Structure 1
Amino acid sequence: MAQKARHPGVVTDLGEATRPVIAESWRRSLAARVDPDRHEAPVVYAPDEIADLRGTHPLATTVPLLRHTLSMDDTIMIVTDTRGHILWCEGDNGVRHKAERVHLTEGSRWSEDAIGTNAMGTALATGKPVTVHSREHLVRTYHGWTCAASPVHDPHSGLLLGVVDVSGPLRTMHPAVAQLVSAAATLAEHHLRQHLVRREHVLTLNFLGGPHADLDGRPLVLTLRNAEVLTALALHPKGLTAEQLALLLYGERGNPTTVRAELHRLRAQLGGVLLTRPYRLDAVVRGDFLDVRTALRSGDARRATRHYSGDLLPRSDAPVVREERADLAAAVRRGVLDTGDVDSLLSFADSAEDAEVLERLHLMLPVTDPRHALVSSRLRRALE
């Protein structure tokens, strides 16, 4: 049975009214509570901020090429970042003035969750070229426009960099524009391959206490299973087969097919950083649990304790995580007890309610030390 739109007056039937790519986009947009009666996209950045963003964006060097390729009467060329912010908007002056009236201009955000189905936002959401024509736009304000957009990827890592788009009033857009935009995106990637210096990516995994990660400073949205996969790969930098990963993540019941599906989903965020045959990470990998391991191996219990802020992925039941979690906790605990350093004991006590550690502190801290009373109270609770 086809799904009905939840906002009155938008469409009568999402399954029958339009193309599947548009129907899916409407569903995402409506789930994000985009109002079809909204009149304009949100303006996020001021002109001086846009100038700063342009200067550091990797697509900056491709703009002259895109401008030359996509210069047409009665249209505008747009280049966005990965979140749908318009960084460049150039072209026919008359069309630009019309576009400015509906915030189709630099500094505005055109992701699906901000302004509903549109070529730029839907290309970002799907990672594929898309044309959105007239009433296919969820927001009625843009029913007089047609837009064709194509994503542009880093040719070295595969990571999405943004989209290039051509937009124009409904009557002026030629059907061949979509193919031209896709060709321009391919030319931009070829240009980047020739001129973009490959740099080492930095993947930071802070998994003590919970999953927090970023790639080159860009936060990653990880599921627990994503974090478990990354933990396994970080602990095995030379790489793992799907069979080995299945065993580490699921134990004897592990299925390599399931693992490959998980890796495919993870690669959507990591791009070329996640390599295959064997599966491994092509990046400088940093992380709090890795810092603890390094400190323990060098015999520096104080440094290990400073980095130890809690159990490794405490909700995980994956064998590779369980073993590493237990090993780290036991080694740090033994280290702080052996050194007998008050600061290290206190730091460990903050991350784990350990009766033996608290007893040692209770004996070491003078009664006049304000921390003594706090340790005494925690010790009583630990012994109850």
Structure 2
Amino acid sequence: MDQVHLEAALPIGADPRQHARNLARLHEAAVTGEALPSRPRSVIGASWQRVRRHGVDPDRGKPIAVLGPEQLEERRRESGLAPVLPLLRGGLISLAEQAAHIMVVVDAGGHMLWRDGSVAVRRRADGIGFVEGVDLQEQSVGTNAPGTALIARRPIQVYSAEHYVRAQHDWTCAAAPLRDPRDGRLLGAVDLSGPASTVHPNTLSLVDAVTRLAESQLRTEHLGELQRLRGFAVPALAKVPGRALVTDAHGWIAAASGLAPADRVALPSSTGPGRTWLPAYGSCLLEPVPGGWLIRLVDGEEPPPARVELDVRVPGEPVLTVSGASGEWTCRVSPRHAELLYVLASHRNGRSASQLSLALFGDPGRAGTVRAEISRLRRIVGGIVVGRPYRFADNLEVLVLRPSAVC
């Protein structure tokens, strides 16, 4: 994962009580429409604007339904977070109890799945409905660390009156999003919350570090799964004529025969056996194998893709979606590849390597670097990007989804 700047809610050297009073004045001005005495942090200001658009009352919030026991257990099973729960507890519970905090784990939909830590703080949290099964999305409870981290896709600490709903002003919380390393999918967020008087700038760094350890554990488990699949794939491919590969269910390549090395292939969002078109390889035949897919490259053409969508609305997490008659494929691309695709989308007639180098680096002399990046990109997207000059294929509709303007 890319390094993320961690911005603590309490400025270094600031007096917590005075800072809380300043935030309270700022919050009061923001919710009453008066002139702001100062500016909120950018992540908080953006959150307040979203919350106002959702119609959240700063005094009462919104009525919130809490999941029943069966619904909660179902979400826990489906979240993908249960395997890392022992690591999260081991890394955070001891500190949470010592520092009068509670550890909270929410799923990608913002529902609190688990809550552990200080008994006294849990009782206090009960008083504001901060309980297992509650919906912590911004549109439900306003600005809060786990709910806002899910939207901002970055670690965030929220202190005192940075919370939009006044009932939460006595709290401080720090949360980090947790992703599935197999496909970059957001699994949820991990949070430490406690009374505002316990605020500490290092809490955010600790939560972020433990969350990254949890992602590392998931990555290690995935590598083990790939290794086990490789034990099946290598002998299986020896019996298959022509070019072929074996992937797991997420498109990670366990072994390949007759193909240039690559890490992953973008599979259709609804993968099924039979003939289909893949961005990197064209017409292919998919056959299910234990733990994944055997993919054979075949002659003949399936209908090519008709639409390419580059989504850059979430900073640092560009997503490419390719769709057509044969299905839809979605994969994360690197920020550098997103920049290349953005320039090509802006110049449908194409750009030379020197022109791309100038657009990306401000220097036309780095054409060699551009050619290398284009080569890596085409191993992912195949014939979607063509050369001489570099451009999107002529038959494609290309759409770029940019961040919406802040109201």
SS of the aligned residue for 1:125 comes to helix
Aligned to 1:133: 159
Alignment partners' CA distance in 2, 1:136 and 1:241? 33
Q: Is the 8 A contact 2:159 2:171 kept in 1?
A: yes
Aligned to 1:32: 54
SS of the aligned residue for 2:38 comes to helix
Distance 1:109 1:242, change over 3 A: closer
Alignment partners' CA distance in 2, 1:56 and 1:32? 27
Q: Is the 8 A contact 2:308 2:323 kept in 1?
A: no
Aligned to 1:252: 349
Partner residue of 1:58 out of 43, 68, 80: 80
Q: Is the 8 A contact 1:79 1:87 kept in 2?
A: yes
Partner residue of 1:68 out of 61, 67, 90: 90
Give deviations 1:279-336, integer Å, cap 9, x for gaps. 5669xxxxxxxxxxxxxxxxxxxxxxxxxxxxxxxxxxx95247xxxxxxxxxxxxxx
Aligned to 1:292: none
Partner residue of 1:172 out of 198, 202, 220: 198
Distance 1:12 1:47, change over 3 A: farther
Structure number with bigger Rg: 1
Give the letter for the 2:376 counterpart.
R
Query: What CA RMSD, in Å, does the superposition of the two structures yield over aligned residues?
Result: 4.4
Distance 1:173 1:7, change over 3 A: closer
Alignment partners' CA distance in 2, 1:21 and 1:242? 24
CA displacement at 1:93 relative to structure 2: 1.5
Alignment partners' CA distance in 2, 1:15 and 1:230? 47
Q: Is the 8 A contact 2:268 2:329 kept in 1?
A: no
Give the letter for the 1:172 counterpart.
T
Alignment partners' CA distance in 1, 2:122 and 2:181? 31
Distance 1:10 1:132, change over 3 A: farther
Q: Is the 8 A contact 1:234 1:281 kept in 2?
A: no
Q: Is the 8 A contact 1:80 1:163 kept in 2?
A: yes
Give the letter for the 1:67 counterpart.
R
Partner residue of 2:182 out of 136, 156, 160: 156
Q: Is the 8 A contact 2:269 2:327 kept in 1?
A: no
Aligned to 1:230: 322
Aligned to 1:200: 249
Give the letter for the 1:23 counterpart.
G
Q: Is the 8 A contact 1:241 1:278 kept in 2?
A: no
Partner residue of 2:376 out of 277, 282, 290: 277
Give the letter for the 2:349 counterpart.
E
Q: Is the 8 A contact 2:137 2:148 kept in 1?
A: yes
Residues 338-377 of structure 1: pairs in structure 2 closer than 5 A = none
Aligned to 2:371: none
Q: Is the 8 A contact 1:132 1:147 kept in 2?
A: yes
Alignment partners' CA distance in 2, 1:225 and 1:121? 25
Alignment partners' CA distance in 2, 1:248 and 1:234? 22
Alignment partners' CA distance in 1, 2:121 and 2:341? 57
Q: Is the 8 A contact 1:89 1:106 kept in 2?
A: yes
Structure 2 unmatched ranges of 5 or more: 1-25, 227-247, 251-266, 272-306, 312-318, 361-373, 382-392, 398-407
Distance 1:161 1:36, change over 3 A: same
SS of the aligned residue for 1:50 comes to helix
Aligned to 1:45: 67
Give the letter for the 1:117 counterpart.
T
Q: Is the 8 A contact 1:66 1:188 kept in 2?
A: yes
Give the letter for the 1:230 counterpart.
V
Alignment partners' CA distance in 2, 1:236 and 1:151? 24
Aligned to 1:307: none
Structure with the higher fraction of residues in helix conformation? 1
Alignment partners' CA distance in 1, 2:209 and 2:320? 39
Q: Is the 8 A contact 2:154 2:176 kept in 1?
A: yes
CA displacement at 1:110 relative to structure 2: 1.0
Distance 1:171 1:100, change over 3 A: same
CA displacement at 1:67 relative to structure 2: 1.0
CA displacement at 1:79 relative to structure 2: 0.6
Distance 1:229 1:130, change over 3 A: closer
CA displacement at 1:17 relative to structure 2: 3.4
Alignment partners' CA distance in 2, 1:156 and 1:69? 23
What TM-score does the superposition give when structure 2 sets the normalisation length? 0.52
